[in-house]
Structure 1
Amino acid sequence: MVKVRPLAALGLILLFAADAAANESSRPAHAAENHVVEQEARPLSVPSPLQMVRTLHLMQDQIATGSTEAHIGQRGLLGVLDTRFMELAPEVWQSGKNVYAAVSFVLSGGNPGLLRKLLDLGSSVVTENDRPLVEGALAYVEGREEAAYNALVSLDPRTFPPTMSAQLALVQSALVVRKDPAKSDELLDFVRLQVPGTLLEEAALRRQVFVASQTDRIEKFQSLATGYLRRFRHSIYAGNFRQRLASASTRIDFGQDKSRFDGFVTMMQELEPEARRDLYLLAARASVEQGFTKSARLLSEQAQKLAEGDPVSASRAKLYRAASMITSPEEIKAAAEDLRQIDRSHLPASDVTLLDSAIAMAGHIQTMPGTPKALAEKPKPLLTKAAAEKTADTSTQAQGLEQLQALSKARDALSRVDRLIKNQASVTQ
């Protein structure tokens, strides 16, 4: 497959757009007669709207591969095409494929004024069949969501040419995602299959990852995210994707299911070690805040493996691991000791607050009235298992109930502290 360099594509369009002007401004006056003869012999070729939009899409597809040259170049190209489209004669727009090209151009970042012009030209240009598409696309790019929804959602993308169908489905998915996430997911599947390897596929995959996370389809979320990181990790928009991926990951309780956590670890292998470590730490802290203690421990232990030589990351991982263990009767003593050993000079301010709260909570749990000694120290068995079973009576049952109640109170208190920390952090951000 031949790759088109972005600036070469831009130069092609600039050549078409500027050809006539350059000839007029740079040609000496005495050569005018020869120029007329030459034009009669070789008429100037003007690209069609469809050809110009295809060139724009070729450039934009390079953005998905990480070309900053294309990202910068598309601005100039859009400016040239804005002028070129607005100068085309009305009869050019009497072709339905050119109307689709205009809609595609506007949905790709072009001037919405072009669609207003086509609508003003009347039914000879925009037929009744095409009016919902044109009006809906205009409403969408202008931010009139309800009008766009009413015009576009009932259209069947499969009845349009491939690129137009993918763009329409991408817009429809954004319009329906709040009301019908499953439909949005289905539309994004269609886009990815319709235009593989394009910026449209990259955008669809990027959006679909978060639709899956919001609907708690964790396996699909992890599969799609892995696919994105493998195929579009160098995209200009990959940085934004990673930020949103981190945000989505903080809402998942990975401790619920081993396969869920294993899938997350597999997905993380697609990231560089440093990025992987930072994302583990972010998700681990969020898990502590939300009371996902098993998840926090698993994530912080993965971060510890990647924190060698980095005392800040190592201290944070140790903090999150210990904080996740303080409500465990068997582990609170070791967790409290780990908390006291952490060098707070290695922690950011928000984590120092979490450390102080975790130490205080560990001490409170260990000394609170009615708290069983098992929370402070795991006792050695005084009776054999058989003897214990024989001597069990209502008093030991009551003691067990007391222990459960005390542990529940401790966990509730920890949750309240964590929520307070989270609220304080959000105020300072």
Structure 2
Amino acid sequence: MISFSWESPARFSRAALLAPAAGPEKAPRPRVLAASALILCLAIAPANAADHGDGHAPAENHAAGDHGGHGAPAKPIEPLSVKAHGLPVELTRTLQLLQDRIARGSTQAHLAQRQLLGHIEQRLIALDPETWTDAENVRAAVTFALAGGGPTALRALLRTGKAPEAEQSLALGALAYLEGREKEARAKLAGIDPRTMPAGLAGQLALTQSALMVREAPAKSLELLDLARLLAPGTLVEEGALRRQIFVVAQGGDARRFEALAIQYLRRFRRSVYAGNFRQRFAGALTRLDFDSDRTRIASLERMLDEIEPESRRDLYLLVARAGLEQGRRETALFASERAMGLAAPDSRPAAQARLYRGAALIVADGRFEEGYEALRSLDRADLAASDAELLDSALSAARQIRTPAPSAEAAPAPTPSASRPMPESASLLRAQEALARAERAMDGATGTP
């Protein structure tokens, strides 16, 4: 074995090439020491590569090195042993890879998912009963079922009676969950720690346990959603967990955490196939914010929406504006529609939508009726989608009633409106109101509620 000591002439000759002209008493500079160390490592590496683990080279290598010959060829590297997995494991992994593409926005993967689910289900049902004596295969079947495969394969598995006793609670609990027997599912799955499960099942199980606890123990449900995200990062499981977590937090009124989680989702999963569902629910959750009495929340909303591209941001503002009208949140509708107008091309359909929502909000705003009425009258129904055209008709009809009150309006006192009564939804929005003057009072009361 070749080696160099610090006293070796070879070391000094190499160092001398790099050392500056200096007296013997002057210490070498750090750069020189680093270069010398690198050369030393390069010289030692070939010798070390031929050594055994105990640091001694084989005798034949010594002999060959002494006489300039070549030693015996190195032994081939033994490949690591890899355990073969059963068919249920491989099929489930294929499904999860497809679903991860869905989380990244692949509509083709989403379309292929249903066909793959049916194919895997048939393969699992047709397997030899002895397949289910392996715990790994049972867990793979549970993963498949919870990931969208449904209860059929689990029923077939349990009918064989071959599943190990240790896996019975997991399989029975998953089946109970899928069949809607929540109490039984909680009892069976509560004692199973997702962190003890294989990687493919761990996050999915935490997500299921969270769904079973969201009504009775929201705080624990949030902890399980956090765990699901940690156990399955970057997957459809994390996307689903984050989406659910946002709305659990919104219902609890934690605005700060709502903002933080929403920003995470919009940064990482805004292209998910399920992002459309998220945006609809997100818009509804945002209408809980009172943009009139708490102006600091405007900055919070803008921080969240700044995470997405302008076109998607415009569409989300339009969703918020429409949801604000439906829920009687005048200031929310007005704020969001004005933001959407600033992001829309002047003669586009989104611009017409924004003007519609803004006008509908203005006709019930103090001192701004005429401005809103003129905005509504300037709109062309042909520029609007069918549901928005119906909203325009209803808003114009209500505005005319405000301008020309019914004769009986003064004779009969109006009943006290309920502050919690929501606006009529979608196509029937505003149509059912006898007069928008009463709606104005109702909405004024609604904007004061949390």
Task: Note whether the superposition's TM-score is higher than 0.5.
Answer: yes
| 1:116 lines up with 2:155 in the alignment | yes
- Whole-Å Cα distance in 2 between the matches of residues 118 and 110 of structure 1? 13
Aligned counterparts, 1:140-179, within 5 A: 140-179=177-216
What is the distance in 1 between the residues matched to 2:115 and 2:420? 54
**In 1, distance between residues paired with 2:119 and 2:326?**
51
CA distance in 1, matches of 2:85, 2:331: 65
The answer on whether the counterparts of 1:49 and 1:85 sit within 8 Å (CA) in structure 2 is yes
* Candidates 121, 132, 141, aligned match of 1:93: 132
1:232 aligns with 2:269: yes
- In 1, are the aligned partners of 2:391 and 2:430 still within 8 Å (CA)? no
1:339 counterpart = 2:373: yes
- Secondary structure of 2:244's match? helix
Among 204, 216, 220, the alignment partner of 2:241 is 204
Instruction: Please name the residue that 1:249 is paired with.
Output: 286
Q: Distance in 2 between matches of 1:58 and 1:311?
A: 39
**CA 1:328 to 1:150, structure 2 compared with 1: closer, same or farther past 3 Å?**
same
- Report the CA distance between 1:170 and its aligned residue: 0.8
Matched, 1:296 2:333: yes
- Deviation per residue, 1:271-325 (Å, 9 max, x gap): 4434433332332344345443433332232122123413655455445446555
Unaligned runs of 5+ in 2: 1-83, 433-450
- Which residue pairs with 2:219 in the alignment? 182
In structure 2, the residue matched to 1:425 is: 429
Residue 97 of structure 1 and its aligned partner are, at CA, apart by 2.1
Change (3 A) 1:46 1:214: closer
User: % of aligned pairs identical?
Assistant: 46
Q: Deviations over 1:52-102 (max 9, x none)?
A: 322322222122122234334444443443343334333332222222112
Q: Give matches, 1:22-421, under 5 Å.
A: 47-110=86-149, 112-122=151-161, 125-127=163-165, 129-288=166-325, 290-310=327-347, 313-314=350-351, 316-318=353-355, 320-321=357-358, 324=361, 332=367, 334-342=368-376, 343-346=378-381, 348-358=389-399, 360-361=401-402, 419=423
Contact 1:250 1:287 in 2 (8 A): yes
Counterpart residue type for residue 352 of structure 1: D
The separation in 1 between residues aligned to 2:189 and 2:130, in whole angstroms, is 26
Structure 1 residues 322 and 189, CA, compared in 2 at 3 Å: closer, same or farther?
same
Residues 154 and 305 (structure 1), Cα distance of their counterparts in 2 relative to 1, 3 Å cut: same
TM-score, reference length from structure 2? 0.63
Q: Distance in 2 between matches of 1:184 and 1:156?
A: 14
Residue identity in the other structure for 1:125: A
- Structure 1 residue 202, shift from structure 2 partner: 1.4
**CA 1:249–1:84: 2 relative to 1, 3 Å:** same
Cα pair 1:100 1:164 within 8 Å, conserved: yes
- Structure 2 Cα separation of the partners of residues 304 and 312 of structure 1: 11
Distance 1:66 1:217 in 2: 29
Judge which range, 351-360 or 172-181, deviates more: 351-360
What is the deviation of 1:418? 7.9
Q: Hey, what's the Cα distance between the residues in 1 that align with 2:173 and 2:315? A: 42
Contact 1:232 1:238 in 2 (8 A): yes
Q: 1:361, 1:414 within 8 Å by CA — same for their partners in 2?
A: no
Choose between structure 1 and 2: higher helix proportion: 1
Instruction: Give 1:190 shift.
Output: 0.8
- The count of aligned residue pairs is 337
Deviations 1:239-277 (A, max 9, x none): 222233233334443444334222222222344434433
Is residue 119–residue 126 contact of structure 1 (8 Å, CA) maintained in 2?
no
Query: CA–CA distance in 1 between the matches of 2:138 and 2:187?
Result: 20
- The verdict on how the C-alpha distance between 1:85 and 1:338 changes in structure 2, with shifts beyond 3 A counting, is closer
What TM-score does the superposition give when structure 1 sets the normalisation length?
0.66
